[in-house]
A and B are shown apart, each in its own frame.
Chain A
Amino acid sequence: MRKEVGVVVSTQDSPSVSEVNFVITQNTVKRGSYVEIDYDEGTMICLVTQLIKTNRYFERADSVKEIETNNEIARNFPIAEWEFLVAKAKPLGCLAELGKKKIVKRVSLPPAPGSKVFAAEKKNLFNFLGLDENGLNLGNVEFHDIEMKVNMDSLLRKHLAIVAMSGAGKSYLVSVLIEELLERKKELGRLAIVVIDPHGEYTGFAEPTEEYANYSHQTNLVRGQDIRISLANNFGLLQKLLGKISTTQKRILSEAFNSLKEEMKKGNGPFSLEELKERILSEAKNEKTRNIASALEELIKLKIFAKTDNPSLLDIVKPAQLTIIDLSDIIDMKKKTVIVDYVASRLFHERRRKHIPPFLLVVEEAHQFAPEKVSKEEAISKGIIRTIAREGRKFGACLALVSQRPVYLDTTALAQCNTKIILRLTNPYDVDHVSKSSEAIDADAKNMITSLRVGEALIVGEAVNAPVFFNVRQRKSMPSKHEISLEEQARMFEEFMEEANREAEAYL
């Protein structure tokens, strides 16, 4: 049984193909909810973008003040009789019959004034939004009893950006996404998941638990400090890190590197950065070689290059397996970007060779690893992130860029993310930047973004046929340590200190 909620009214600008105003007869319509109207082309689906209460008795401020000064308007006039709730709705498209199927069409005619407006029916809305019974369940469509099951291919193949201000629930949403990918059935196609985790927010996935859903058996936790990059296989990365060196220095470096590689092939085994430095200095000791050796010494201090890779990504990147690259123990930003560059490049190239399954690379704090308006030398990982963003879809290399400052995120990478999930975002520059990168975000949606509550999200782009506001579902996995309240953290700290003191006293 359809639920009638209003009637289309005639105003100067409405009804048109871009705006339909209706007077609400059932007070169940909310901003962000969907309604449907039967008209010549089929069933029009509209998003309610604004609600306005009007009352003729309160239209003139001077009169209201005047009457309220000595009397109450309500005591003298039937004000309730004149209160109307008018909804402004944006037509998103139309569901039309094509044989036995329903197809989504563009709206090319407005509905007639006086048309009945109904709450969008579950089945119609599910079809219209392009949701998928076998999709990833991210939550519930706001104000509608519909699971937000997004088709995995549409959501991730052309990359995803998740943007929100700090504390709005980005990591929570990413955790929900990871849970869905980890629980996905084999026959539906499963991705490998790699998360660049600068703050250690996802380490809970690796911890065995009985209280929460246990994903520890599907999770590999890689500590940033333990990551080593095989020097022999990553000459390009080495060159990139050395930055602008002269042609002669490049030649010296190449000759030393190649000679060590030749020896490796002959059975001498892989070589280290220290050995490379020694080889350069052993060839000739002049200003040029000393400069390169000095630059290599700086890289040695980073403790990133080694004889072999650790861990071997080929061994851990598997379908329905989560690999967390925990960078929380690394302070040096350059080292972090080197690791991200290495992991991303390696994943991309191995996927091109089909050595690893299709994957989703989640880059938390993406604005740090693919920053806008920063030189190449400073943004080591930006190039590969851009490359995956541009070419990844052809190879099943998917990106999810997560950022709290989208205005600082590389515009090219952000623009390549065909689906965007936006949680609460209040900084006007960020809101503007995100809306400019997505045509689906119009002025009304922009206004609504700033008023989203924690846990509410807007999804726009490839994954859905129209912008959808949804409530992120409850996570099943162990919450991040960052989700513990400040009070709880303070309490835990004091308890820890008291325990430490007790132990110290007992020892003495």
Chain B
Amino acid sequence: MEIWEFIDSAARRINERERKINSMLQNLAFLREIQLNEFGSPELSEERFVFKIPEEKINGKVAGVDSGFCMRSFSGIDIMLVRTAGVVFEFKNSSLSRVDYLPKNIELPKPILREGLEKDEAFSSESVMRLMEELEIGIKLIENYRPDFLLLDGSIVPQYADKPRKDSKVIDEYHQLIEKFQELYSKAIKNRCKVVGCVEDSRGSRLRQIIEEQILAKKGINIKELNQILDSRLVAGILRKGERSFAFKYSPNIAKHPILVDMEEKFAENIYVFYLKASEFDMPLRLEFIAANNNITKEADKIASLCYALSSLHRGYSYPSVLIEADLRARLQSNEIEIVFSRIANRISPALKMRRSSRPF
């Protein structure tokens, strides 16, 4: 197949798939109206599928953490540069009245050197080190600024890919990361701070499974193509701007979850997820939190209300402003990266550089 034919074919397939999804989503439109409690499933922890987000004025402190990261390898030595930025926005009557940063100034990235790691270990180590830095700053933000919310860029649970093999050299680091997460959860609960994980472009499929198993199956509906789409695309077709999905448990069975199994039950059992549509033309945001009590709806509404207010500033892009600011401060500039790596490269033998960076053409 020539490239031009391939492009035509690929575009055709994407459009076809979109048509199918849209038609399928029309069949699921009834989800907007149904009462979930009539299904009697413990997985359906709220009354309805769709909730209108209550509009509330923002008052108080909202913190955010993000990091910028870069890794390169020289002769089996992995050098990572990471810069983490903590931001605290203080709102009065929904207007930003004060900003604090941790660290105060934009500092040079922190270098981390790792040696002798396999490729998969290097990947998981990279992620673990980055999360460790973010959690460290998150904990300090809670201690120093006592925010009402702490928003993390990404999940509040490590990902499958972050967990190394049991015999890996970085397994200890992973366990330290789990400890650090739990330290953050504890610190947040103690200080009445709600930790929220904000995930853009989520590739999760848990909500789809709940719909299939707990709703459609019980109604005798079988939609074959449903398993081809991700949660975010699914809820994008169901939710309208200013709405959220019901909150559901991160995992139905923590004993079978590869990450949650490593966590204390009091945390793992109470991690909830919902989707929020904050912008007309952007995918819904996946928001994760640890429920402090049994009133999931109240907690989810409170979080949704805050994140909606912080994220609904642009019709084509939704993300909390505090995390946008953290990203701006944490982002590594290409010249910062080049200064470090080119100086290292200049001091070592060309033979020690990665082969791909020594290609003559």
Query: Do A and B truly interact?
Result: yes
Chain A residues within 8 Å of B, Cβ to Cβ: 10, 56, 63, 66-67, 70-71, 74-78, 81-82
B94, B95, B314, B324 — most chain A CB neighbours (10 Å): B314
In the complex with contacts A66-B314, A66-B315, A67-B313, A78-B94 CB distance below 8 A: no
Contact between chains at A77 and B314 (CB < 8 Å): no
What is the chain A residue whose CB lies nearest that of B321?
A76
Q: Which residues of B contact A75 (CB under 8 A)?
A: 94-96
- Give the residue among A67, A76, A78, A82 with the most B Cβ atoms within 10 A: A76
Interface residues of B (CB under 8 A from A): 89, 94-96, 99, 310, 313-317, 321, 324-325, 328, 335
A63 — which chain B residues lie within 8 A by C-beta? 314, 317
* Closest residue of A by beta carbon distance from B339: A10
- B324/A77 in contact, CB under 8 A: yes
Cα-based distance from A63 to B324 in the complex (angstroms): 13
- For A68, the closest partner residue in chain B by CB is B313
Q: Is there contact, CB below 8 Å, between B313 and A76?
A: yes
CB distance from A371 to the nearest CB of B (A): 54
Interface pair A81/B99, CB less than 8 Å apart: yes
Q: Which residues of B contact A81 (CB under 8 A)?
A: 99, 325
Answer whether A78 and B335 are a contact pair too, CB < 8 Å, given A56-B328, A67-B313, A71-B313. Answer: no
> Within the complex, which residue of A66, A67, A78, A82 is in contact with B89, where a contact is CB–CB below 8 Å?
A78
B93's nearest neighbour on chain A, judged by CB, is A75
B325 contacts A77, C-beta separation under 8 Å: yes
Contact residues in A for B325 (Cβ distance below 8 Å): 77-78, 81
| Interchain CB contact (< 8 A) of A76 among B96, B316, B328, B335 | B96
A82 touching B328 in the complex, CB below 8 Å, given contacts A66-B314, A71-B313, A77-B96:
yes
Smallest Cβ-Cβ distance to A81: which chain B residue: B99
User: What are the residues of chain B within 8 A of A76 when measuring CB–CB?
Assistant: 96, 310, 313, 321
Residue of B nearest to A63 (CB): B314
Out of A56, A67, A74, A82, which one reaches B314, CB within 8 Å? A67
Give 21 A-B contacts (CB < 8 Å), ordered by A residue.
A10-B335, A56-B328, A63-B314, A66-B314, A66-B315, A67-B313, A67-B314, A70-B313, A71-B313, A74-B96, A75-B94, A75-B95, A76-B310, A76-B313, A76-B321, A77-B96, A77-B321, A78-B89, A78-B96, A78-B99, A81-B99
Residues of A within 8 A of B99 (CB): 78, 81
Q: How far is the CA of A76 from the CA of B308 in the complex (A)?
A: 13
CA distance A66 to B328 in the complex (A): 19
Give the complex CA separation of A75 and B321 in angstroms. Answer: 11
Q: Closest B-chain residue to A79, C-beta based?
A: B96
CA distance A66 to B324 in the complex (A): 16
Most buried by A among B89, B315, B317, B325: B325
Residue numbers in A under 8 Å from B89 (CB-CB): 78
With a cutoff of 8 Å between Cβ atoms, the chain A residues found around residue B313 in the complex are 66-67, 70-71, 76
| B-side contacts of A82, CB under 8 Å | 328
Cβ contact within 8 Å between A66 and B335: no
Residues from chain B with a CB closer than 8 A to the CB of A71 are 313
Tell me the minimal C-beta distance from B57 to chain A in angstroms. 12
**CB-based contact A66/B96 at 8 Å:** no
